[in-house]
Structure 1
Amino acid sequence: MNHTYTGKVMWSHLDANMHMRHSAYADFAAQARIEILDEMGLNMKVFQKLHIGPILFREETTYLREVGVNETITITTELAKARKDGSRWTIRHEMFKEDGVKAAVIVVEGAWIDVLKRKLATLPEELANHFMHITHSADFVEMA
């Protein structure tokens, strides 16, 4: 599944230097992930019914260019690593400015958690199959 998210940088996304603050990059990437999950049937209602949700172990951002207020940004989402059953994964987002220049790369490593048991979980097979259809990066690695 190919997916891009487009959003506009608002005043509230800025820091004291008048460019997009570090945590706004993470917020935009999170929204891109939520939208692609929703498109594949993994929305908040399904998560609540299954008592499962995504959890992050690590998040890393590489900042390449400044992004300013009122700029429209586009974020791509790719699966860079995953177990065959989709239980553990790494997602890479690339953020682009209006002129097509890459502004940042955001990489998150995560899994699924049973919110009642507070233990790592797996998705039901059908939903895991949907999840595994996120576009794979050119350097995709299947994890053991």
Structure 2
Amino acid sequence: MEQNIYYEGQVLWAQLDPNMHLRHSAYADFCAQARSNMLTKAGLSLEEFAKYHIGPILFREELVYHREIGLDERITVKVEMTKLNLKNFRFSFRHEIYKENGIKAATVEIDGAWLDLHKRKLTIIPDEWHSIFNTIPKADDYVETTG
């Protein structure tokens, strides 16, 4: 499980729901931070996005719960790319959230694309970014398309 971990942290009181376990939106927050950390490590920092006026946008986010996560538990988030369209660079990622005992607590899958922040329309990535996508971790079931 040590591979492709891009977030590690403690569950805070403010992240709990009335049932005293991690609230649903906190899972998305942890995954977004892990994805941001992964992209930054690959070379796509917030500064790089700003330079080109491009940002990621999500079309779908699906969360499957496996085990409860409670207060003060430490979690890790693994991120891997599951799909990439080489023509328009639409992407899909799988995030797996693990409890500190190694038990998988949740799986979050997302589909997204790139948004031109000035035109507010979908766009392709700059040529300079193409090689960066080779460094992003791929899932065992990774699929690459061109159409």
Question: What runs of 5+ residues in structure 1 fail to find an aligned partner?
Answer: none
Whether the aligned pair in 2 keeps the contact of 1:82 and 1:141 (CA below 8 Å) is: yes
**Paired residue type of 1:111:** A
**1:27-86 CA distance string (max 9 Å, x none):** 000000011111122111111110000000000000010000111101100000111256
115-124 vs 24-33, which deviates more?
115-124
Whether the aligned pair in 1 keeps the contact of 2:61 and 2:109 (CA below 8 Å) is: yes
Give the Cα separation in 2 of the matches to 1:119 and 1:99. Answer: 43
Match of residue 92, structure 1, among 91, 94, 109: 94
**Pairwise CA distance, 1:126:** 2.5
**Paired residue type of 2:101:** D
Provide the residue aligned with 1:45 in structure 2: 47
Matches within 5 A, 1:57-136: 57-84=59-86, 87-136=89-138
Give the Cα separation in 2 of the matches to 1:2 and 1:26. Answer: 18
**Paired residue type of 1:106:** V
1:8 aligns with 2:10: yes
Give the Cα separation in 2 of the matches to 1:47 and 1:77. Answer: 20
5-14 vs 123-132, which deviates more?
123-132
Question: What runs of 5+ residues in structure 2 fail to find an aligned partner?
Answer: none
Cα RMSD after superposing both structures: 1.5
**Paired residue type of 1:33:** R
90-99 vs 32-41, which deviates more?
32-41
- Please report the TM-score for the alignment, with normalisation by the length of structure 2: 0.92
Moved over 4 A (4+): none
- Please report the TM-score for the alignment, with normalisation by the length of structure 1: 0.94
Give the Cα separation in 1 of the matches to 2:49 and 2:36. Answer: 12
Give the Cα separation in 2 of the matches to 1:132 and 1:85. Answer: 15
Whether the aligned pair in 1 keeps the contact of 2:6 and 2:37 (CA below 8 Å) is: no
Identity, in percent, stands at: 49
